[in-house]
Structure formats: C-alpha cells, structure tokens
Amino acid sequence: MSSQCNAPQNDAKGLVEERNLGKSGLRVSCLGLGTWVTFGSQISDEMAENLMTLAFENGINLFDTAEVYASGRAEITLGNIIKKKGWRRSSFVITTKIYWGGQAETERGLSRKHIIEGLRGSLSRLQLDYVDLVFANRNDVNSPMEEIVRAMTFVINQGMAMYWGTSRWSAMEIMEAYSVARQFNLIPPVCEQAEYHYFQRDKVEVQLPELYHKIGVGAMTWSPLACGLITGKYSDGVPECSRAAMKGYQWLKERVNSEEGRRQLAKIKELHLLADRLGCTAAQLAIAWCLRSEGVSSVLLGVSNTDQLLENLGALQIFSRKFSFSHFLQRSKQPSSLRVTSLGVPRLSEPPVIIEAETRRILEQEARAGSKIGKGD
C-alpha cells in the first residue's frame, strides 16, 4: 500500500517558500517542524538535533513547541539544540504555547499570572530572550477575554514575544479577542493554530478564510497526516512502535479501531491509489493539499526520523507542479458554503453564519469610529 515518490526527496531548499503569518509582516516557511510527542519523549536528543539540522538546511525556519510538551522537556531539548548550533536568532522563528504549565491551579490557564509566568518559564527552558509567537493553547472560560488580551499585549510590549495567536479557539472566540483588542487599543491575535487534514476540514476551509480576509488572522495547521493515519501504517492494526501504541495515547488507538476510523482507512486506500498515479506518496500528497488552502501560513510536520522528514519535504515537489487538486477534492464532501477555484483552492461563496454577524458588527463599529490597532499596557 505504501507509495513511492519517483522524484528526488532531498532537494527541497529552493522549494520551501516563505509566507506571511496571516496579514502580519512576519515571514515563515510554508512548512514548520513540530515537537509534539517527539522531542524530549519519543526520540533521542541526537535524533532531534538531526531533524532540526536537516529541516533548517532545507529552508524550514519555523519550529513549534509548547510548555506542556513532554512536561517541558521538549522546550529544553529545542533550546539546547539552538544553543549548540549557534544559528543567528534572527534567522529562525520559534513558537510556543501557554495553558498547561504545572499541577497547581495557578500554573494552568490564561490568567495574567500564568501567561506571564508561563512564558518566562518557557523562555528559561528555551534559553532565549524572546519567542516570535506565543499561542494561547485553548481558550480559558475562567479568565475574562480582556485579561487574556491585556496579558498578551503586556508580554509583547515587554519584549518576551513578538506576536500572539490562538490554538484550538473557535471563530467566535477569536473574534471576541479581536473586538477587545480594538476596543481597548491592545494587540490582537495574528494566527490560529488548527488541526487540518483530509478528515478535519471545516474550520480551516469554512471559518478561518473569513477571519483571514476580514481581520488578518492566518492559519498554522498541524497533523496533516491525521496522526499518521494517512500514511497507511494503521491499515493492518496498531504497530508496536507507532504513536498509537505509546503510553498516554489510548485515545488514538481507540480512534483507529473505531467504526469511523475504519471508514477513514477505507478512504485512505483510494488516496494511496491516487498518489501512485501522481508518482508520490500519500503523505506527500496530503501535505501538498494542505499547502493549497487559502490563508494557511505554514503546515507543521511531526516526524520521528530523518527518512520521514525527507519524505515530507518531497511534498514541495508535488506542490510546485501547480497540479490542480480538483480530482482529489472531489473525493471528499465539500462544506456547503464552499466553492472550489480552478486551482483547487477552497473559497467561501458566502460568509459562514457562525461568524458573519459578529464580523459585520465589529467592522461596522470600526468604520464608524475610525479606530486603529495600537499598543496598550
């Protein structure tokens, strides 16, 4: 079932394009390297260094982590590698996420206290003076939105971060943060980090394009291979060395073995047949497909060895062919509010109902007030 790519897979540097992060001025590589599960846990520090080196040498400048990954060890590993390599700080982008810090109630959530203390802890583990982007790693219903936005504005003004974004927030929550920022002359989020793959599409294809056009929020996506499902490695069960077999990932094993999981595996067989005809692997096709979505600034890769990274980089050769993915898109149900352009890029025919009213209200309010984004304290 495994497909083989006929084109070389290790000559990607000239193919890694840089994109603006949303409508900010920050330029990031269209592919980024994530550290969830792998750094500080599944792989050795030596392999982590090999992956970062290979990624950086092939044009990837974006590295993503979080305070919760491997209980902070992912940040420590990432920081040690950066220090050892001696790369210019201005030549790469580091993003981290704040929410789950420790066991105490004061060490979790998005209170002003934890945003500031949590980010200080991340910077200490990373051995950096600042991160380029700090994400709120889910919304916190116990913290007022104004407190969250003010705290994010504070850490930016203090030089601890350059930008802030959201992760796993709803469109309405992002709009609320934007509205608060405009109302109090604070700094709004520039990016949402969202799961996006063949089986998880609505948010990135229906909701986020509207936010991108109206308020400039871009998308940084993760899990392009659906936690490895798209590679086909779970077609005959759960391999012992796979993520689904690891301690703490029973949820993934249950997902693979569920009725929905079996249906998805059946669809993946069709995807592999299509990849064979295109002369690439299913993983490469899936990543190239993610890169085509409007408003996607970067697709985060999760790999545990250099062979996987080289294969993933081969997706850029598929993407550079300017191949129309219309045939691929037709194999899955399109959201009702979408139409597909001649390039296979999903575009909204009408604003999604979920955010239309709030978007219009805020934009009309701004038009009347003539307000401008600034910095608060």
Q: What's CA 323's distance to the chain center, in Å?
A: 24
Q: Which amino acid is at 31?
A: L
Could you give the CA distance from residue 135 to residue 238 in angstroms, rounded to a whole number? 32
CA distance 156 to 162: 6
Phi, psi angle pair for 333, to nearest 5°: -70, 130
In DSSP terms, 96 is beta-bridged to 134
Q: At what angle do helices 45-57 and 73-85 cross, to 10 degrees?
A: 60
Catalytic entry in 69, 99, 178, 234: 69
Nearest to 229 by CA among 283, 280, 277, 281: 283
- Do the Cβ atoms of 113 and 99 come closer than 8 Å? no
End-to-end CA distance of the chain: 56
Q: Which residues pair with 222 in a beta bridge?
A: 195
212 is catalytic: no
Contact 112, 144 (CB under 8 A): no
Angle at 135 between CA 132 and CA 137, to 5 degrees: 155
Q: Which residues are designated catalytic?
A: 69
